[in-house]
Amino acid sequence: MRRIYLDNNATTPVLPEVFEAMRPYFGEHFGNASSIHHHGQETRAAVERARDSVASLLGCQSAEVVFTSGGTEADNLAIAGLTSPGDHIITSTIEHHAVLHACKHLEEMGCYITYVPVDGHGLVDPGDVRRALRPDTKLISIMMANNETGVLQPLEEVGKIAAEADAYFHTDAVQAAGKVPIDVSRIGCDALSISGHKMHAPQGVGALYVGKGTKLQPLFYGGRHERSRRAGTENVPGIVGLGKAAELAMQRFERGDDSRTSALRDRLQQGLLAQVEESGVNGLGAPRVPNTSNIYFDHIEGESMVIALDLKGLAVSAGAACSSGAIEPSHVLTAMSLRKDRAHASIRFSLGTQNTEEDVDIALALVPETVARLRELSPVSKEQAVTY
């Protein structure tokens, strides 16, 4: 069976060029980047080259890039590292749990958190951010692109609000990096998180941009790695992979490959809407990253759909996740005021650079027939739908 992977917001395959760039750092180039001998100098140089590439991707200076173990650590480092007990933090209801749970923990430690809502398109209103400001607001953390809908937030306006209020501004750009160009000075942020495995680098590596002069408390204590902002021996192969993936992403932007991705995504989306009645796109009308489409197919149950499609070789994900034995609708879709049954009936399709026209054709054949079969087998009835 041919397997088609349209779940690139969960993780992406490592590109062959990335893998080849990493390979020597598992073998002959094994040195600890802190060692002063030849072996260490070799890996140090590789880490610094990767730092330059990541800095170019983000439009910042190399010294402003801190390598981490991934997006979750970058988010935690920014949020905990820029605040202290007693501070007020503004974030949104649609953030990834790496941000929401970090904020929840800080609340238990004595911080005050305001969660700004989103509208039906999944967009934060910068006016709400402004209204949430307090004299003790230390940090605003609003994501760049949402992982479930792909919706891009109006960050430049939030950046201006943060600057006027003299508050730090962090953005979780994990789902934006490699998909849309990023320029930290345009955004006006003090910190920005990225993750390797969402942009065709390996899992377990990421980076946090921290603007020059920003006072960041580390999460870990140990050696003076990463200019004392992140102790721990560097994951050299992972960092090299992230650097290579950043270079390849910039080349894709130069070639205009993002318009190829959005054309594929739009063809998939339009084809599905045309073939399946009572379906629609979550976040339609808002600016979105080019690779993501979150679609509801009324009267189906998302998890069953994911399983049925997987049996046919198509990997996607559902807008609901099983937590503590119960299937909970996604907090993102419910924050967008989606009906509960619709949140349960939503499927996320997310493309990567490896996907082809043929992948989309196959998805366009498999999804409508699967929806039809599920609706026939165990339809979530209209009556049930409205009683939620």
By annotation, the residues acting in catalysis are 322
Closest contact distance (angstroms) between CB of 367 and ligand PLP is 23
Interaction of residue 261 with ligand PLP, rule CB under 6 A: no
Sheet containing 317-318, strands listed edge to edge, beginning at the edge strand earlier in sequence? 279-282, 292-297, 346-350, 317-318
Of 65-73, 118-126, 325-333, 380-388: span binding ligand PLP (CB under 6 A): 65-73
295-314 binders of ligand PLP (CB under 6 A):
none
Cβ distance to ligand PLP smaller for residue 96 or 138: 96
128-157 binders of ligand PLP (CB under 6 A):
143, 147
Q: Are 383 and 326 in contact (CB under 8 A)?
A: no
Interaction of residue 8 with ligand PLP, rule CB under 6 A: no
Interaction of residue 98 with ligand PLP, rule CB under 6 A: yes
Query: DSSP character for 216?
Result: -
Interaction of residue 174 with ligand PLP, rule CB under 6 A: yes
Question: Looking at this protein, which amino acid is placed at residue 69?
Answer: S
Of 66-74, 276-284, 337-345, 357-365: span binding ligand PLP (CB under 6 A): 66-74
Using CB under 6 A, pick the residue from 172, 226, 234, 341 that binds ligand PLP. Answer: 172
Q: Are 204 and 67 in contact (CB under 8 A)?
A: no
Nearest to 199 by CA among 6, 334, 4, 10: 10
Distances (CA, A) of 245 to 71, 202, 230, 318: 15, 9, 22, 27
Using CB under 6 A, pick the residue from 71, 237, 243, 319 that binds ligand PLP. Answer: 71
Question: Looking at this protein, which amino acid is placed at residue 219?
Answer: L
Q: Are 201 and 244 in contact (CB under 8 A)?
A: yes
Distances (CA, A) of 204 to 68, 72, 76, 239, 249: 8, 10, 15, 9, 19
Of 43-51, 119-127, 170-178, 312-320: span binding ligand PLP (CB under 6 A): 170-178
Alpha carbons 268 and 271: distance in angstroms, whole number: 5
Closest contact distance (angstroms) between CB of 348 and ligand PLP is 11
Interaction of residue 70 with ligand PLP, rule CB under 6 A: yes
Site pattern 193..222 for ligand PLP (x: CB under 6 A):
--x-x--------x----------------
Interaction of residue 72 with ligand PLP, rule CB under 6 A: yes
Cβ distance to ligand PLP smaller for residue 51 or 96: 96
Interaction of residue 350 with ligand PLP, rule CB under 6 A: no
The b-or-e profile of 329-346 (16+ CB within 10 A means b, else e) is bbbbbbbbebbebbbbbb
Q: Are 152 and 184 in contact (CB under 8 A)?
A: no
Interaction of residue 318 with ligand PLP, rule CB under 6 A: no
Q: Are 353 and 252 in contact (CB under 8 A)?
A: yes
Interaction of residue 178 with ligand PLP, rule CB under 6 A: no
Instruction: Report the alpha-carbon angle 107-112-117, nearest 5.
Output: 100
Q: What is the CA radius of gyration of the chain?
A: 21
What's the chain's length in residues? 388
Closest contact distance (angstroms) between CB of 386 and ligand PLP is 32
Closest contact distance (angstroms) between CB of 67 and ligand PLP is 12
Residues that bind ligand PLP (CB under 6 A): 70-72, 75, 96, 98, 143, 147, 172, 174-175, 195, 197, 206
